[in-house]
Amino acid sequence: MPVFSFNDTLLLATVLFSVGLAGVLVRRNMIFMLMSLDIMLNAAALVFVGAGARWHDAAGQVMFLLILALAAVETAVGLAIILCLHARGRPTLDADTGNLLQG
Amino acid sequence: MHALALLAASVTVIGATMVITRKVAVHAVLYLVATMLGLAALLVMLGGSFAAMLEIIIYAGAIMVLFVFVIMMLNLGQPDSAREKEWLRPHVWLGPGVLAAIICAELLYCIVPLSDSVPSVVPITAHDVGLSLFGRYVLMVELASFLLLAGLVAAFHIGRNRVEDR
Amino acid sequence: MNPLPALVLLPFIGGGLAWLAERIQPAPSSPSRNASWWAMLATLIVETLLLAWITFSHPTSHTGPWLEHFSMPWVPTMGIAIRLDMDGLSLSLIWLSLILCFLCACLATRQATVKAGTFHFLFLTTLTGIIGTFLATDLFLFFFFWELMLVPMFVLIAVWGHEDRQRAALKFFMFTQGSGLLMLLSILGLVITHDRETGVLTFDYFTLAQTHLSPTLSMLLMLGFFIAFAVKLPIVPAHVWLPNAHTQAPTAASVLLAGILLKTGGYGMIRFNVMLFPDAAMYFAPVAMGLGVVGVLYGAWLSCAQEDIKRLIAYSSISHMGFVVLGIFTGSRMGMQGAIIQMLAHGLSAGSLFLIAGAIQDRLHTRDMHRIGGLWTAMPRLSATGLFFAVASLGMPGLGNFAGEFLVLLATWQVSPIIATVTTVGLVLAAIYALRMVNRVFLAARREGQPPLKDLSVPQMAAFACAMIFLIVLGLHPQPFMTFSAPSPLSVMTTNSLGGHVP
Amino acid sequence: MGEILLPLLILSPLAASEILFISAGRISARAVGTVACAGVGLSAVISIVLSVLLLSGPATGLLQATLWPWMHIAGFSADIAFMLDRISMVMILVVTIVGLLIHIYAASYMRDDPGVARFFGCMTLFVASMLVLVLASDLLCLFIGWEGVGLCSYLLIGFWYDNPVNTAAARKAFYMTRMGDTAFLCGLLLLATAVGSLHIDTVLAAVTNGQIAPSALNMAALFILIGALAKSAQIPFQTWLPDAMAGPTPTSALIHAATMVTAGVYLIARLHDLFAQAAPVMALTAVLGALTILMGACTALVQSDLKRILAWSTISQLGYMFLALGCGVWQAALFHLMTHAFFKALLFLTAGAIIVRTHHEQDIFRLGGLRHTMPGLTAAFVTGASALAGLPLVTAGFYSKEMILSGVWPAHFRLTHELTLNGHFLWGMALLGAFLTALYIFRCVFIVFFGKSGTTTRGQTSRLMTIPLGCLCVLSLCGGIIEMPTTFPPLHLFSALLDPAASHSHADEPGWLVLAGAVVPLAGLAVAWVLWGRPSPVMREMPGQAVVIRFARTGEGIDMLYDRLFVQPFRFLTWLTRHDILDYIITGTGRLTRTASTSVLRARTDFLGTLTLWGTSGIRETDRLLGQIQNGRVRWYAAWIAGGLSAGLAMAMLS
């Protein structure tokens, strides 16, 4: 019996994904949103590696690698935006104030 | 399911929930690092040792450190955590919580029929990953490099504006 | 060089010359030295010589089915060829057109002083269209000339007409054009059925005549043709455009319209209705004869109460054309020949009446019979000619109209005596409107305050005289015309088309 | 020989008329007169030569001349062909000789009229078409003459076209005769379809050998009878002749007395074989003839216009001829036709002379006592009147009327199996007619010539006018002796002349018939003398008060009846429909569709207006709602994305 079956991986990834989602929806502070976003990304990465293991294909890990790159870039840009907002006199980092694109 | 696997899984899940519930940003970041380490352990168990190592080095090492730097730069003090408390009223959790629960239930409902008898997990070594990385997915690597370059430029550009305004 | 295409194209080229002549020598001092008029006259003379050569190069005694033939591929892929065939019927109708054109040239076109060049050009283009219609035996070419005939006439009426010309010209154009399209549908229907049946895509009249059509389809196609010709040869419900077009058209145009354009309808009915769909035509005959009788009576009835001379003559020509329809659809050769004689005679008499009405209008600037009053004392020659042609139009035996009408009545009597007796009532009405006009315009007390009037000059009188002689000869000695202008039976045509044609 | 003379006979008046028409304005009145008289004179000479030629030949001989084929098509053939036999010989003699005399008379009568060339052109054309009518051996060719004569009568009646009354009378004459002609044409059509050709002898041969069905025969005879009745102004069509007096007097003399009106009689006489087979039509002819005699005589009795009296008397004399034709004695009809032509032409010409000399006064009551100023004319008029009345032994009228009366007596008709019409009844009516004729003509004589003198007269009748009158007097006096009634010395030249084959079987006829025929005119003369002739006449003044007389004067009101019954409604209806109804309908529909389309357009726009109103408000509403969703908060967007994800998964789960 393998150590950690594919079924469990999926189960864990779903839980992680929902937790990350909840975090994004609840928290109004941008930093916390970014962190929750990273959790969701990791959940997805987990599934990829699980699938790669399940079907003996290196592609899973290749995809994991790309998700890493993506996460890195996303965090970098996100933080840059946060810093810029903070500098512009938005101390509260409230996601709801930035609503100039209102329809 | 092996005890070690259970342990790692539980560490990951508890870490994740703590991240989204903490009021102080630094605590949240540290919990996030813990979840990632748990995750790395899980990856090793899944046979993706190369992936685990990457997770630890890049994700936990580099990205989380970036987070810490930024949080320190923002100098979030007491009033921020008080505000966070005010924002996290219990009723706030209700809407997104329900939505997340629904999605989790639906996903679970969909996933159960998918997984079937699991053959033995043969670990996929870095050698295989390297071959496929630069075999079939050589183009993806190039694209990834473009992505990184774009991100670099964007970050630099946003950062630079801050100086002029002074 | 085969004379037929020359016959068709000559008027067109002549028209161009006339137009050029007008350009070169614009405002002539007096109409007689009008260069474009001389150009037109020259074209007409050359055309007549050509026609005479064709007529006398074939001994008229034998009624050879097809005197002349000319065929040149035009759109080979569609099977459209410029096929021109001349038989007795088309030859006699072309002679009629030329005689009327000469009459017009001598008597009517002199007054068209403004832009005379274009006037003559349009006049001769209409003539081309007419001659083309009489000769074309390729259905596409026939439709082409059918429409070609229409446009210059529309312009003639619209530009040189009288007070309400735009509306009349438009009405004329709409009626004839609309019905022409129906004919186009029938032509295409015929061609397609033929193509589907024999695999040969051709518009040639002779081969198309052999397609085996189901009765309903042949009736439908025949109706398409019939409606187009019914509008042109005004049959009562579709005659509405004629009186307006005539009253507003300039003299030359209305002579052309009454003299020849109505005959193209009759010619088409003989050639493309009765001979192309013989069984459908016979099946449709009672309805057509009914329409004919209605036309005779309705036209005569209305012309009894008209105050405008041209409108009166227009309605009378509707009545005469009713006889033509009657004759064509009796089915017997006698009826057909009666219809042809009637067409020739009506062309001459109605054309001349219109010329006289035009002459009166040029002198008195009115067409209203009340304001004209008696002209005999002032213009005895004009009035005498008018009297002669009015008497001819009421069907005086010994003149052309009576010969045609008698044959038509005889043929109708053999079909059904009741229709014939009802039609003779039309003769009485004809007498009423003709003499009413004579006693209102010619033989009446001279109206005081009438300007001094100039009577017809000798050359004009000569022109009218030869028209009179033609009518008398047609009335007293129609035999040569009858044998000569019998439409060639279809069966004979097809043998010819297969075995190569008489050179 | 006949081949050339026959066409020449017709050609000479035709040529004369062409010359006159062409040289209308240029030659003098005298030259016009001479050309016309020359033309007709030449034809008179030719006709005499031809008659001599014909009489010298075999009894049933005839001269044929086929000029050219007119119409030869399958099933019908007609050609311009002329023939001269004994019947047409009589007719051409009458036409040409009487015509010549009238032309000579007219040469001086019309000399000072501006349109004299047109007048003589029409007159010579008339003579030519009459000759065509008489000589035609093909019924279609006869029809040419028939209509030609109608046209010339129209032109001549409406000669003085300045007065609209004349032209109206001319048109009326032409319309009435034209109706008869169309009926005649229908008869021709029927015969042509039945027989295939209209040659008179082929038609008669077909009739005798029974090729035509009896019903068709009766119908054809009826059509031809209607044509003849219209042309000869008999009962149903008589109203046009009195109005035709509007034309110049020579016209009335030639056309409305001698030749045209007798064309119908000639036609029926020519086709007597056909009519013999159609018994009902013969009976109809006889009855109509008799009725016309009486009606004409009564109306003439009360007329006050000299020429109208003569017109009505012509109608009644024609009634005699039709009566004779109806009873089958067509020879008597032709004989009466000839004598009637002579004395009626004489009466008309003298009346013309009188009118000219009395400043165009035509009312007999104003004319009185002319015997002193115009003895010659009085003598001529009296001879004419006595010939018309048929005074015994002396005048030609007596012999011809006697022949008719003796012919009518034995006739009897089997109309239906039990109703037979006996000749005696018709004979009685004819006798009464003779009495009335004598009465009205001598009334006219006594009022005009005897009694106190009325108007002043001027001038002297020129010699050119008196010569024709003299000849006509001679002819009307001794024209009749060539045919004696039976009881007199058996001298039957005329009937022998016509068709020697017909044997006369009048032997059983009672002797007193001829006596009655002689006594009746004398009685009429006596009554007329009593009423109007005596110095203190009984009815000298205008007897017009009585309603009956006024009613009778207008020709039994038939003219008014026709006018109100046919002419007024016709004129009103044509006026009503002068604008083409169909034109209105079609252009109307055009206008209708235009208005309909505009109204539909307007309706549509209104409808659309309300529609858009709702639409816009609805849209604005939804727009506002949607606007709220896009409140710019990122988290709300994320929430919506999650909502969408959950909905998608739900779908996946359920399906």
* pLDDT exceeds cutoff 90 at B134: no
Residue C494 forms part of a structural domain: no
List the structure tokens of D531. 């009423």
Three-state secondary structure of A71-85: HHHHHHHHHHHHHHH
* pLDDT exceeds cutoff 60 at D425: yes
Q: What is the pLDDT of residue B11?
A: 92
* pLDDT exceeds cutoff 70 at B163: no
Q: What is the DSSP letter of D74?
A: T
Measure the N-to-C terminal CA separation of chain D; round to a whole number of Å: 120
Contact A25 D639 (CB under 8 A): yes
Contact B108 A14 (CB under 8 A): yes
User: Can you tell me the distance from the alpha carbon of D126 to that of D258, in angstroms, rounded to the nearest whole number?
Assistant: 12
Which phi and psi (to 5°) does residue C14 adopt? -60, -40
Contacts of C358 (CB under 8 A, 6+ apart): C107, C108, C111, C250, C251, C252, C254, C255
Quick one: pLDDT band at residue C164, thresholds 50, 70, 90? confident
* pLDDT exceeds cutoff 60 at D543: no
Contact A25 D642 (CB under 8 A): yes
- Domain residue limits, chain B: 2-123, 125-166
Q: What is the pLDDT of residue C208?
A: 84
Residue in A with minimal Cα distance to B89? A26
Residue predicted with more confidence, D557 or C310: C310
Question: Within 10 A of D433 (CB to CB), how many other CB atoms are there?
Answer: 26
List the structure tokens of C248. 């507003």
User: Can you tell me the distance from the alpha carbon of D257 to that of D314, in angstroms, rounded to the nearest whole number?
Assistant: 6
**pLDDT, mean of residues D274-279:** 88
Task: Tell me how close the Cα of B27 comes to any Cα of chain A, in angstroms.
Answer: 11
- Domain residue limits, chain D: 278-543, 594-654
- Please report, rounded to a whole number, the percentage of residues in chain C having pLDDT higher than 70: 93
Q: What is the pLDDT of residue C354?
A: 93
pLDDT digits (tens, 9 = 90+) for D157-191: 999 988 889 999 999 999 999 999 999 999 999 99
* pLDDT exceeds cutoff 80 at D2: no
Residue C502 forms part of a structural domain: no
Contact D178 C427 (CB under 8 A): yes
The dihedral formed by the CA atoms of C45, C475, C338 and C480, expressed in degrees to the nearest 10: -60
* pLDDT exceeds cutoff 70 at D541: no
Of B95, B96, B110, which has the smallest distance from its Cβ to D649's Cβ? B110
Quick one: pLDDT band at residue D237, thresholds 50, 70, 90? confident
Q: What is the pLDDT of residue D590?
A: 75
pLDDT digits (tens, 9 = 90+) for D581-622: 777 777 777 778 888 888 887 777 777 777 777 778 788 877
Q: In the CATH hierarchy, which fold is given to the domain comprising A6-89? A: Helix Hairpins (1.10.287)
Q: What is the pLDDT of residue D485?
A: 64
Contacts of D645 (CB under 8 A, 6+ apart): B103
Residue predicted with more confidence, D26 or D104: D104
Q: Between B and D, how many residue pairs show a Cβ–Cβ distance under 8 A?
A: 22
Residue C499 forms part of a structural domain: no
The closest of D238, D386, D366, D373 to D304, measured between CA atoms, is D366
**Position D138, amino acid:** D
Quick one: pLDDT band at residue A97, thresholds 50, 70, 90? low
The closest of B115, D610, D28, D629 to A5, measured between CA atoms, is B115
Q: How big is the CA angle at D347 (ends D343 and D353), to the nearest 5 degrees? A: 140
Of B99, B106, B107, which has the smallest distance from its Cβ to D639's Cβ? B99
Contact B100 A65 (CB under 8 A): no
Question: Within 10 A of C430 (CB to CB), how many other CB atoms are there?
Answer: 25
pLDDT digits (tens, 9 = 90+) for D309-347: 999 999 999 999 999 999 888 888 988 998 999 999 999
Residue in D with minimal Cα distance to A37? D638
**pLDDT, mean of residues D229-233:** 91
**pLDDT, mean of residues A14-40:** 89
Contacts of D587 (CB under 8 A, 6+ apart): C171, C240
Q: What is the DSSP letter of B123?
A: -
User: Can you tell me the distance from the alpha carbon of C102 to that of C119, in angstroms, rounded to the nearest whole number?
Assistant: 15
Helices in chain B by DSSP H: which ranges?
Answer: 3-21, 25-45, 49-54, 64-74, 78-87, 90-114, 126-134, 138-165
User: Can you tell me the distance from the alpha carbon of C176 to that of C229, in angstroms, rounded to the nearest whole number?
Assistant: 9
* pLDDT exceeds cutoff 90 at C293: yes
The answer to whether residues C316 and C393 touch, using CB atoms and an 8 Å cutoff, is yes
List the structure tokens of D521. 């005119």
The answer to whether residues D161 and D288 touch, using CB atoms and an 8 Å cutoff, is no
* pLDDT exceeds cutoff 80 at C13: yes
The dihedral formed by the CA atoms of C137, C143, C146 and C150, expressed in degrees to the nearest 10: -160
Residue C501 forms part of a structural domain: no
Question: Is D631 an interface residue toward A (CB < 8 Å)?
Answer: yes
Contact D642 A98 (CB under 8 A): no
Residue predicted with more confidence, B114 or C206: C206
Q: Is D136 helix (H, G, I), strand (E, B) or coil?
A: strand
User: Can you tell me the distance from the alpha carbon of C426 to that of C432, in angstroms, rounded to the nearest whole number?
Assistant: 10
- Determine the structural domain holding residue C258 and report its residue range: 3-488
Contacts of D629 (CB under 8 A, 6+ apart): A103, D636, D640
Q: What is the pLDDT of residue C205?
A: 85
Quick one: pLDDT band at residue B15, thresholds 50, 70, 90? very high
Residue predicted with more confidence, D90 or C68: D90
Neighbouring C-alpha atoms within 13 Å toward the C-beta of D577: 17
Quick one: pLDDT band at residue C496, thresholds 50, 70, 90? very low
Q: What is the pLDDT of residue C495?
A: 34
The answer to whether residues A16 and A46 touch, using CB atoms and an 8 Å cutoff, is yes
Task: Tell me how close the Cα of C243 comes to any Cα of chain D, in angstroms.
Answer: 9
Residue in B with minimal Cα distance to D649? B106
Per the prediction, chain D carries an average pLDDT of: 84
- Find chains touching chain D: ≥3 CB pairs under 8 Å: A, B, C
In which residue are the tokens 């010569």 written?
D467
Contact D639 B96 (CB under 8 A): yes
- Find chains touching chain B: ≥3 CB pairs under 8 Å: A, D
The answer to whether residues A66 and A52 touch, using CB atoms and an 8 Å cutoff, is no
Q: How big is the CA angle at C351 (ends C347 and C354), to the nearest 5 degrees? A: 150
Say whether domain B2-123 belongs to CATH 2.40.33.20: no
Task: Tell me how close the Cα of D633 comes to any Cα of chain A, in angstroms.
Answer: 5
Determine which of D636, D646, D651, D655 to mutate to test the interface with B (most B C-beta atoms within 10 Å).
D646
Helices B64-74 and B25-45: crossing angle in degrees, nearest 10, is: 180
Quick one: pLDDT band at residue D400, thresholds 50, 70, 90? confident
pLDDT digits (tens, 9 = 90+) for C454-481: 888 888 899 999 999 999 999 988 888 8
Per the prediction, chain C carries an average pLDDT of: 86
Contacts of B144 (CB under 8 A, 6+ apart): A65, A66, A69
Quick one: pLDDT band at residue B72, thresholds 50, 70, 90? confident
Q: What is the pLDDT of residue C166?
A: 84
Of B46, B54, B136, which has the smallest distance from its Cβ to A65's Cβ? B54
Sort out which chain D residues have CB atoms less than 8 A from C406's CB and list them: 71, 140, 185
Q: Is the ipTM, as predicted for this complex, more than 0.85?
A: no
**pLDDT, mean of residues D475-497:** 70
Task: Tell me how close the Cα of D24 comes to any Cα of chain C, in angstroms.
Answer: 9
The alpha-carbon radius of gyration of chain D (Å, integer) is 38
The answer to whether residues D432 and D294 touch, using CB atoms and an 8 Å cutoff, is yes
Question: Is D624 an interface residue toward A (CB < 8 Å)?
Answer: no
Q: What sign has the CA pseudo-torsion B75, B79, B81, B87? A: negative
Contact D151 C337 (CB under 8 A): no
- Please report, rounded to a whole number, the percentage of residues in chain C having pLDDT higher than 90: 35
The closest of C47, C89, C42 to C68, measured between CA atoms, is C89
Which phi and psi (to 5°) does residue D358 adopt? -110, 45
Quick one: pLDDT band at residue C68, thresholds 50, 70, 90? confident
- Does the global pTM surpass 0.95? no
